[in-house]
Chain A
């Protein structure tokens, strides 16, 4: 046999050996990425998880309370079944400072989950250590709050998972929000949120009450918009007691959600939706979500920021879409803005995207295309938004009606 032939055989051997190892290595990384949460505990019963009542101990520092309210907003915006509500007493979960156990209080938090003999969590207590030496890093504390709430939901640690607030999301991306693997875990545990009609209520005190825009003056709030009806509505008026959202176009052909009026009346900054999609999700379906910033006095209106998702071959022709935005510093016009967009298709495909902004600086950027067959992303622009909101839309069902949205908002302590 010639030397050249020997080298050829050696090369083949190299390939034969290397490829499996590379494949194993990649597989291992994927397993690590997908094995989250490795140490998750019991879960809540679904009927409880969809209405988890959180009670803040009165001794909890208002700053920590606000961090948890933000974290609750994040989890509630994941599009999963999990929904937190704030109550004044009792409830399923208590958030409390720990002045009783194991001094000196270190910087961090802890969660105790109590599960029953059937294996379901029936009570959870989240303890934050109000260490004054580490209270200045607000965003980190929000990450702690989000993380501890994740524990309360039954999620465990995944130390090396970069796309999880239960793992390395904070260290890697400085994002204090649930990311794709958290959402996947919750989808596995609890399933998606059902876009059922909901009442207009304040999660601040857990009571159902109408709130007017005037009450939204201040900082910060969380807004959620949820579909209440699939009938045709015209939202021509905005009264002092009800927020009105105008949609233009017809669902099934094109829907534009215009939140100009709301933002113009409530905040200097504003953001709107421009949503369009084909009536039937097919192999060539393009779902397009355009975020529009407008009505800021210092900026020309209608600057578009958009990303585009192409999706193919959905067997169900249905999509559940959730979208959330959050800001961190409304006192600064160039505010932090974290955007989390999650798209759950009923056939199991999930899209998620998160971005953190401060002014025009992108602080962190994570986009996920796991299980996405076709994915395109457009450009993002500077966005200014003080409230956050979420939209759940039942798409592709051929309805041609406009949506009416009720708002759920949380009033945070100033």
Chain B
């Protein structure tokens, strides 16, 4: 085989190898899929009885390293997996296309507030799952962002809210016994944070949060607090510091940390999404 033939052969191999690799990469969907990118866009109304959400403000939605100045020492979220809890979550495709949809309130019983956590009270076992508890917090309302509910809340008011968590000791008992028929105390007076955690880590005393409150209309005095899937607090999160345990990423894929945006803009964003 002469040099020319060898050259042609090698060139063919190289070109085809490159083409082949490109083909392979193009057919691998994982290279083109990024769930962490928030896209501000309109979405079809096929599934929603609402019009397109107008968005005028571009948030910066990337906080790789959450910083929590008042972290109370909650158990790592990964402990839930350790004790056998698997969780999968499925949202309408519109949410992936436009994660800002998570900010939208579709139900009048949802109240959105900016609040500061003042204190932590008891933990109440209140679920068919023995390990599931609700932590009672006292929060100070700093701003009412959305309230279409009949519930009257005022700025400066302190109210009790409940936050869903897992008691790891009970979770462990369930895990070892292979049943939900385990005994769990109905009330735990002195909450030790290292025995509890949640799908999204519980609230910490002294921090400010944008909270989505809800309640059972038949029990309006018991208000549940949930972290919105977007979490904003310029005083809590900073991209440069980490205090949370390593394995404390939220147990939900739909979680976005909003950083670098003034609180005023973030509140306006929520209002815009819900306008």
Contacts and interface: CB of A to CB of B under 8 A. Distances in A.
A13 B12 contact: yes
A21 B47 contact: no
A20 B110 CA distance: 57
Contact of A171 (B24, B93, B104, B180): B93
Nearest to B26: A25
B101 interface: yes
Contacts of B134: 100
B106 A100 contact: no
Nearest to A12: B9
Nearest to A16: B13
A65 interface: no
Do most interface residues of chain B lie in helix, strand or loop, or is the interface mixed? mixed
B189 interface: no
Interface in A275-314: none
Given A17-B20, A42-B86, A112-B85, A134 B92 contact: yes
Interface in A1-36: 1, 5-7, 9-10, 13-14, 17-18, 20-21, 24-25, 28-29
Interface stretch (A67-75, A102-110, A250-258, A344-352): A102-110
B12 A14 contact: yes
A159 B47 contact: no
A133 B49 contact: yes
Interface stretch (B65-73, B170-178, B239-247, B257-265): B170-178
Contact of A122 (B88, B106, B179): B179
A148 interface: yes
B19 to A, nearest CB: 8
13 contacts: A1-B2, A6-B8, A9-B1, A13-B12, A21-B24, A99-B216, A103-B212, A104-B103, A106-B229, A132-B49, A133-B50, A133-B106, A159-B29
Given A10-B12, A21-B20, 13 more contacts: A9-B1, A10-B9, A13-B13, A41-B86, A104-B104, A104-B110, A104-B214, A105-B107, A106-B102, A110-B90, A112-B86, A114-B175, A131-B106
Interface of A: 1, 5-7, 9-10, 13-14, 17-18, 20-21, 24-25, 28-29, 41-42, 94, 99-118, 120, 122-123, 125, 131-134, 136-137, 140, 144, 147-148, 151, 156-157, 159-160, 171
